[in-house]
Each structure stands twice: as C-alpha cells, then as structure tokens.
Chain A
Amino acid sequence: MATAEALDDEINDLRDRIATVQAHRANLTSILLSQPHFPTRLEQRPVLHERDRRNAVKLVQKQSNRNLENIYRACAGVTAYKVKDPDPCAVDNGNILGVRIEVPINGIFVETYHVLFNRPNATHRTMLRIHKHTIPPCIPLQPLANKWLPVTKKSAEEPREQDLVKFSRHLRKELVSWHLRLEALEKLRKDARLPDRTAPQDGSKVETEIEMVLNAFVSDDEDSEVEDEATQQQQDGALKILRVDGDAAVREITITWSNGRVGIFRVTKDGEVDKVAVRTKEGTRDASLSSKALGRIEGLVERLEA
C-alpha cells in the first residue's frame, strides 16, 4: 500500500511540475512573440517551408492583437467591441455593440462585466437598446439606462439625449464602488477577527445548512427566563463581535455582538457610514456608539472597539 501511495505522490508531483513548466513555456512564448522586431526578423530569415513562416506571422499577429487589446482594457477600464448575434431573427442583422467594464481592486482586475447593445429602431439608427448584459441586479442598471439611453415611449415628451459615454462611466462607477464595498466588508470581518467566510468550516460535509433564523423573536414570552440564562453565560466572556453581515449590495452592514447588541449601519455608495442604529439586547438605543460609527466604512470595527 505504501508503495502505491508513494507512486501516487510522485505522479501528482510530476503533474504539478508539468503544469508549472507548461505555464512557464506559455509565458516565454508570449514574451518571445511580443518582441518588438520579431516580425521583421521573421521576414528576413530564410525558412525551410513557407508555411511555417506564415504560421509564425499569424501567431505574432495574434499576440500583438492581444497585447493591444489588453493595454486598452487595462488603461481605459471601459472598452467597446463588436460582436455578431448568431440568432438569424435578430434585429439589425445581429449587429451588437458590446461594452466591457473592468473592475480593478488592489492592483488586479477582479471581474469583467459586459453590456451588449443592439439597434432596434430602423429609422433612428443611432438609438441603442440594452440587449443582454452581465450586470448583477444589485446595480441600478435600469435607472441608469432610463437616464442616459433614450426611452422609446410614446409618452416621452422630448426625446432625451443618448449618451453612451456617460452611461458607461456611471455604470463603471457603480460597479467599482460595489466591489470596493465588498472588499471593505471583507476587511471588516478580518478586523473583527472572524473566520474567513469562504474557508471551509467543520460542517463542510453538510451541503446546505440553515444559517440563521431571522424571526426567532416571534417566540412566546413564556420562555424568556431560559433565554436570559443562556445569554447571561455569554455575557460573562469578553465582549466581542460575533457576526459582520452585509446585504448583497453592501449598502447595509449588520454587526452582532456577543452580548446581544445589534448595530445596523447604512453605507452610501462611496463607502461612508451615514446612518446608524445600535440597540442593546433590551432594545434601548446606544447613542454614543452610534455617533462613533459615523465616518468611513474602512475603520468601522476599530472605531467601535475603541
């Protein structure tokens, strides 16, 4: 058995090494293909088969296209491209304008979103309509489109000016600020020394589990003594933060302390905590803590613990 395991280990080891070496080779290939004078040198050098040269030129072309595209994407943040709708019944012969929005966080691009436009109106050829998109519903796409893309309603008094650039700019702002808030929420969890949410916990073998009962307060008052006992035990320990939750758009953060105190913090889109309600277990407001919480989202936990 031991030999089999050793062999397995060795095989896995080799696989890992193959993967690393392949990645290294791919990297070197793209570096080589990106050499500035590579195409000219390819032209000058004699080759055995003309076909090899053609293939090489094609590869260089592909690499330089990719380089150019990436540079635009990385520097501009919002880029446009054209695609073709394969649907034979698509409007406007399936011509689609795509807008691609990159979200950079901490020096890496974490996500790419697309909005795809078509031109439904045969008479007004410049009017765009959102055909497909990959924007999550917590981003206000509809209001933005209402504002910057013309509404083809009969009741619209004067046709609003279409402004694709402003639309994209605002959409990008929404997306990036959302990702920044997500990042800040993760940071708050770390500040509160909570276990990483994504890390597998001990209950990982159980597929779906009830996380939290939200209406436990509907329970009858009869049992309140028992409840108090349970929380009394918790109160003996040092006061600490049990949970830091945010809604999907991170516009509202809920912090639960071990003594039953709950704080709800409203966050604006640019990450400012602007409204706070902290309640103790008994239901009274904690005004001093509430006023402490106002400010940037980033230092929220430190301010609360100070």
Chain B
Amino acid sequence: MAPKPNTTVPDYKNVPHSHRLPTTHREVRRTFSKLSRQSLVSLALQWLAKKNRDFCRPYLLGDRDADEEEDDEQYTPAQSYEELQEIYKELAARKGGKREIQDRILEGDWRAGVSMYQLATAEIQYLLDHPNSLRWTAKRLARIPNAKNVSLDMEVTNDSEHLPRFQAQTFMANLARELTPLMKAHYLLIKIKTMPMTILRVYIHDSPYSTEASLAVDNGSSDSARAVFFIWPNGSPFIYSSIANHFGQVISDDGRHLRDIVQQAIPKAFSRPSVRYQLASTNFTTKSLDALLAYRGPGKSNAASGGWSIFQDHNFSQNALDFITSHKDEGQEKNGTRKDGTAGAAKAGPGRPKRTLEGNETSEAKRRREVAAGRFGSSAQPNDGQGLERVEVRIDDAFPPMPNPLEQADDVDTSNISEQSANRSRRGRPSLLDRSLDEIEELEGGDAWVPDVRVVFQGSHVFAGVRQLVEQGVVDGEKMPGWMTGEAGVTIGAVKEGRIRTKSGQIPGV
C-alpha cells in the first residue's frame, strides 16, 4: 500500500494511476453498475495481470492487520494474486448474475479502494462495449502554415511528413505541461487491439492537491462530468472528442469548459518547434464510433461515402488480373447504372417491355430499388452500424421568384420547419449554422431574397432512412440532391445550388 503523505500541499503532479478512490465514490458506483458480467470478469483478470498489478492492488490476506476484526467479512481475502486469478477464471466459466461479480470486486477484493487506473479502464471497457454511448465531435489537426517558408510546407519529398507525429511519451509530457497549472488530472492513454485507434481519457480532478484523500472528496457539483475522452484513429489527422456523461445526463457548462481546456491543450501537445497545429472543425458529430471511423477514419472511405462507396470495395474495381466476366453479373449491373448516367434510368428503359408482364407495381418498385442502389451504392444499409443520428443543413439558395410548386424540396422543408424552430427556442445557444457576418454581407449584396431555411434529419440512421424513402418512392431518387445520400460526409453544413459548400482548394476527407 502506498504510504499516505502526512501533509497536503498543492503541488504540480498528475494524479498517478495507483491512487485509489473509495468504493463508495459515486463515479465508481456508477461506472461499475453499468458494466456487464463478462466485462467485469475480463477487467478483473486484466487488473490481476502481472504488468498491471502496480496500479490495481487488490486486498490480499497479507494486507490485513493482525488485530483486525474478521466477523462481518463477506469475502475472505485471497492469499495471492494467483489465487485471485483462479477465482475469477472460475467465475468467468460459470453462469450467474453480474451483481455477484460487482459486489465481489467492490466489497471483496478491492474493498480498500478502486484505483484511478481501474476506474479508467472500466470506463473505457464500457465505451468499447457500447460504441454508441457517447456523442463524438470529429476535429482535424491542421498545420498552421508557416509564414516564412510556405513552399517548404508543401513539398513532398522522400522523408517529408504531412501528418502530426505521435509519440506517447512526448505527447503526455507536453499535455501535462499545458494542463497541470490549470487542473490536476489523471491520464490514461491506451491503444486498442481490434480498432485502429488510440484512446486518451482525462479524469479531471478539480483541486489543487493530487493526494488520495483529496480524490475521495466529492465536491458538491453532482452532475458535472469529470472525464473526457479523446480518440485518434491511427494514421489520420483526426481527433474525436467527447465528454463522458452518463445516460441522458445534460452536460453542464462546467464539463464543457473543462473539456475545452483539455481540447485546447491537445494541438499544443502535438506541436513541435516550427511545426504548429491547431484544431479545425470538420462539421461532423455523431454517436457511432463506427461511423466516425468510416467518415473520418484512417481508411479509404473518408472521401468516398454515399454512392461513391462502390469505389472503396472491389465491387467496381475488380482485380486487374481477374478476367472472368460470367458469374459477376450483379456487380456488372451496378457499374452499368453508374456508367449509363442518371441513376439507372437508362438501364431500366430497354428492360421495361419484358417487365410489364410482371405487373406495373413490382417493376416500378424494382426500378426505384435500382435507382437507390445507383445513388447510395453499398452505403446506407440499415444495419451497417454507421448511422448518423442528426444531419442539419441550411439552404442558401435564393427563394424561387414565383410560387412554384416544386414538389420535392418544398415538401421536405415545410415538414421540418416547426420542429426546427421549436428546437432553436429550446436550445438557446447559437447554432453552428447561424450565418456568419461575411455570409450575411454576401447575401445582402445580391437582390434575391434568401430566407434562413434549415432542414434537420433525425433518426437512428438518417441516410438509411433516406434510402428507404427512395425505395418506397416518397423521395424521387433521380432528382434528389447529392447531399441527401450522405456523400458530402458532414452532419452539418450549408447547401447552395444543391451542393454542400466547401472551402475551395480543400480536398475532402484528408
């Protein structure tokens, strides 16, 4: 057991992994009650592994003082780590409630307290078990252009680098240097085996002390989220940030503020002399980690979403040495629709006389399905796990001069206006979509009237929903603008002339 310091002096240290929280602490209770039995057992086994033992001391028989009472002991302390490992292996093998494990951990083997390391790993385990439990905002580390030698920045040479280099030690030292004057915090930085990403969890300890005793004190602000998560997918310039809030809990301004402090420190920690970074918004927020990895991840899918997803897989690009044409008719047809032009319209044309025999209804449905396949490709499947919950756009086109019954666009707009205005009054905070001064000026220069029309799509998987609407014939798949297929890869944006506005010169998805 760590010797308790006798004095509490404000210091400049981080909260170490091995500091313990009492098991009655609210954060501990809350985190442990959320985890499943299987996760709890696997966590306990991880903590007992040799390399982690320093951070997760269980209560062993040797820790007990000789004169201590033994009567009301529910769990007898184990003799050794090996014995404990055996116990948990046994528990893993047999069935039972999760309460049994939870109690054993909190009241038995770790009755003396749960270390910061344990709490952090438990929360990360929960995050991995439930990848949709938090709301993430994707940011990009953008290089601040060097005013002196612009040309050097752009050069691609044999040993040039365009991504920020990540070194765990240097990064942690830099981050701690930025943050320790402002707050005490516990950091856990880990790599995940099955997903290509690194997770940083910062537990914010709002106190000048970094002792165990100060950790245990529950400061009155009951709802404030104390942990912040950051994820960076390996080999990409993106960073996802999130506040670890509990189910449906409103994030207080305090939590937001603390996250902002940490967030501001991150690009500084990545920077090196003469290579400075800043965080740039990527207009992307979602709850699904899988969607984040698909739209802002390390792979091929970033700038080829929506209908362009056919370019990612081998659906469109068969191997250059694959000469077989016969049994790939399905894939060929998809390519055909894309090549033939407007979403399979030409394709359906010649085939139509044959299909009249099957009845008008089915051929129409089939045509719509083909149109949807042409527009959405292999994306926007209801169960692909890459659902976006909310997509918000502002229409920046001038109001049509005549009351023109534009069947499609108007339908969508009116149905959402009420919801949207209700939304604004509820929120109170300025939306990211509010026009900037420049944009207002630009609009006033023209003589057309441009109302502030916003469209919000909400649901478990917005673009799968749009695809279904196309398949049902509610939305005309051929006249639908491209941003409705999700190919713009943003969850918030301004639409002008049917396209999401982007910065000129900026390549999507890098």
Residues of A near any B CB (own CB < 8 A): 22, 25-27, 29-30, 33-34, 59, 62-63, 66-67, 70, 73-74, 83-91, 94, 100, 102, 108-109, 112-114, 116, 130-138, 140-147, 151-153, 170, 174, 206-220, 222-223, 226-227, 230, 247-249, 251-252, 266, 268-270, 274
| Partner pick for B188 among A70, A86, A140, A215, CB 8 A cutoff | A215
Alpha-carbon separation in the docked complex, A94 to B307 (Å): 13
Q: Pick the contact of B499: A89, A136, A138, A214 (CB < 8 A).
A: A89
Nearest residue (CB) in B for A70 is B320
Give the Cβ gap from B504 to chain A, nearest Cβ, in Å: 5
Among A74, A209, A274, contact of B320 (Cβ-Cβ < 8 Å): A74
Q: Is residue B300 within 8 Å, beta carbon to beta carbon, of the partner chain?
A: yes
Decide: B55 and A219 in contact? CB cutoff 8 A: yes
Q: Are B156 and A211 in contact, with the CB atoms below 8 A?
A: no
A70 touches B322 (CB 8 A): yes
Q: Are A84 and B342 interface neighbours, CB within 8 A?
A: yes
- Say which residue of A63, A85, A211 sits within 8 Å of B325 (CB atoms): A63
**CB-based nearest A residue for B504:** A152
Tell me if B341 counts as interface (CB < 8 A to partner A): yes
Chain A residues whose C-beta falls within 8 Å of the C-beta of B509 in the assembled complex = 133, 137
Whether B497 and A27, one on each chain, are in contact in the complex, defined by CB atoms closer than 8 angstroms, is: no
Cβ contact within 8 Å between B498 and A89: yes
A132/B304 in contact, CB under 8 A: yes
Is the CB–CB distance between A33 and B158 below 8 Å? no
B507 proximity list for chain A (CB < 8 A) = 130, 133, 141-142, 145
| Complex contacts, B237 vs chain A, CB 8 Å | 137
Are the C-beta atoms of A112 and B317 separated by less than 8 Å?
A: yes
A74 touching B321 by the CB < 8 A rule? yes
Contact, CB under 8 Å: B505 / A27: no
Q: Are A133 and B303 CB-contacts (below 8 A) given A30-B326, A214-B168? A: yes
Residues from chain B with Cβ under 8 Å of A100 in the complex: 317
Determine whether the beta carbon of B187 is less than 8 Å from that of A218: yes
Q: Which of B76-133 contact A (CB under 8 A)?
A: 121, 124-125, 128-129
CA of A66 to CA of B478, assembled, Å: 29
Q: List 30 A-B contacts (CB under 8 A).
A: A26-B327, A29-B324, A84-B342, A85-B482, A86-B307, A87-B487, A87-B498, A89-B497, A112-B319, A112-B320, A134-B303, A134-B311, A136-B298, A137-B238, A137-B509, A138-B163, A143-B154, A143-B160, A152-B505, A208-B195, A210-B46, A210-B190, A213-B188, A215-B187, A216-B51, A219-B16, A219-B17, A219-B54, A222-B18, A248-B298
- How many angstroms between the C-alpha atoms of A269 and B478 in the bound complex? 44
Q: Report the separation of the CA atoms of residues A114 and B342 in the bound assembly, to the nearest whole angstrom.
A: 21
* Cβ-defined contact, A174 with B156, below 8 A: yes
Contacting residues, chain B, for A270 (C-beta < 8 A): 158
Main SS at interface, chain A: mixed
Candidates A83, A153, A220; contact of B18 at CB < 8 Å: A220
Q: Smallest distance from the beta carbon of B28 to chain A beta carbons, Å?
A: 19
Instruction: Evaluate contact between A87 and B481: CB separation under 8 angstroms.
Output: yes
Partner of A116, one of B188, B308, B479: B308
B3 at the binding interface (Cβ < 8 Å):
yes
User: Are A274's CB and B159's CB within 8 A?
Assistant: yes
On whether A137 and B505 interact (CB within 8 A), knowing A33-B325, A109-B320, A210-B46, the answer reads no
- Give A246 Cβ to nearest chain B Cβ, in Å: 10
Asked whether, in the complex, the Cβ of A248 is within 8 Å of the Cβ of B236, the reply is: yes
**What B residues does A85 contact at CB under 8 A?**
482
Q: Does B42 count as interface, using CB distance less than 8 angstroms? A: yes
CA distance A220 to B57 in the complex (A): 14
What's the Cα separation between A116 and B121 when bound, in Å?
A: 43
Among B54, B124, B169, point to the contact of A226 (Cβ < 8 A).
B54
Closest residue to A274 on the B side, CB-wise? Answer: B159
- Give the residues in chain B near A152, CB-CB below 8 Å: 504-505
Contact of A140 among B156, B300, B487 (CB under 8 A): B156
Taking a contact as CB atoms under 8 Å apart, the answer to whether A147 and B236 are in contact is no
Query: Which of these, A62, A131, A143, A266, contacts B162 with CB under 8 Å?
Result: A143
Chain A nearest CB, measured from B236 CB (Å): 4
A143 CA to B152 CA, complexed, in Å: 10
CA distance A224 to B172 in the complex (A): 20
Q: Do A88 and B158 touch (CB < 8 A)? A: no
Q: Return B302 CB to nearest CB of chain A, in Å.
A: 6
Smallest CB separation, A67 vs chain B (Å): 6
The interface residues of chain B lying within 8 Å CB-to-CB of A25 are 326
Contact check, A141 vs B317: say whether CB atoms are below 8 A apart: no
A208 to B121, CA, bound (A): 12
- In the complex, the chain A residue whose C-beta lies closest to that of B342 is A86
Q: Is the CB of B159 within 8 A of A268?
A: yes
Q: Specify which chain B residues have a CB less than 8 angstroms from the CB of A66 in the assembled complex.
A: 323, 325
Check if A137 sits within 8 Å of B302, measured CB to CB: yes
Q: Which residue of chain B lies nearest to A86 when distances are taken between CB atoms in the complex?
A: B343
Which B residues lie within 8 Å of A223 (CB)?
2, 18, 54
> In the bound complex, how far is the Cα of B159 from the Cα of A30, in angstroms?
45
Kindly list chain A residues whose C-beta atoms are within 8 Å of the C-beta of B156.
140, 143-144, 147, 170, 174
B237 to chain A minimum Cβ distance, whole angstroms, is 6
Out of B54, B196, B235, B482, which one reaches A89, CB within 8 Å? B482
Q: Is B214 an interface residue (CB 8 A)?
A: no
Chain B residues within 8 Å of A209, by CB: 42, 192-194
What residue of chain A has the Cβ atom nearest to residue B176's Cβ? Answer: A218
- Complex contact A70–B321 (CB within 8 A): yes
Q: Given A132-B304, A152-B505, A230-B50, A73 and B320 touching (CB < 8 A)?
A: yes
Q: How far is the CA of A269 from the CA of B159 in the complex (A)?
A: 6
Inter-chain CA distance A215–B303, complex, in Å, is 33
> Which A-chain residue is minimally distant from B299 (CB atoms)?
A136
Top 7 A-B pairs, shortest CB-CB distance: A248-B235, A89-B498, A87-B482, A214-B168, A211-B193, A112-B317, A134-B300
Q: Tell me whether B155 and A109 are in contact (CB under 8 A).
A: no
Interface 1/0 per residue, B454-480 and A, CB below 8 Å: 000000000000000000000000111
A132, B508: Cβ atoms closer than 8 Å: yes
B residues less than 8 Å from A212 (CB atoms): 190-191
Q: Chain B residue with minimal CB distance to A74?
A: B320
Question: Is B375 in the interface zone, CB < 8 Å from A?
Answer: yes
Q: Does B166 contact A (CB under 8 A)?
A: yes
Residues from 294 to 346 in B contacting A, C-beta threshold 8 Å: 298-304, 307-308, 311-312, 314, 316-317, 319-327, 338-343
Q: B325–A247 contact, CB under 8 A? A: no
Question: In the assembled complex, how far is the CB of residue B304 from the closest CB belonging to chain A, in whole angstroms?
Answer: 5
- Return the chain B residue nearest A148 by Cβ: B156
Q: Which of A26, A215, A248 contacts B168 (CB 8 A)?
A: A215
Given the known A-B contacts A70-B320, A208-B194, are A251 and B161 also in contact in the complex, defined by CB atoms under 8 Å? yes
A141 contacts B510, C-beta separation under 8 Å: yes
Question: Is A138 a contact partner of B159 (Cβ separation < 8 A)?
Answer: no
**Chain A, residue nearest B236 (CB):** A137
Q: Are A215 and B189 neighbours in the complex by a CB distance under 8 Å?
A: yes
**C-beta contact mask, B141-175 vs A, less than 8 Å → 1, else 0?**
00000000000011110111111011011001000
A86 with B374: CB separation less than 8 A: yes
B189, A207: Cβ atoms under 8 Å? no
Tell me which residues across on chain B come within 8 A of A132, comparing CB atoms.
303-304, 308, 311, 487, 508
For the complex, give the distance between the alpha carbons of A109 and B312 in Å: 15
Contact check, A88 vs B189: say whether CB atoms are below 8 A apart: no
Chain B residues near A88 (CB-CB < 8 A): 342, 478-481, 498
A-side contacts of B480, CB under 8 Å: 88
Least CB distance from A182 to B in Å reads 11
Check B323 against A140 for contact (C-beta < 8 Å): no
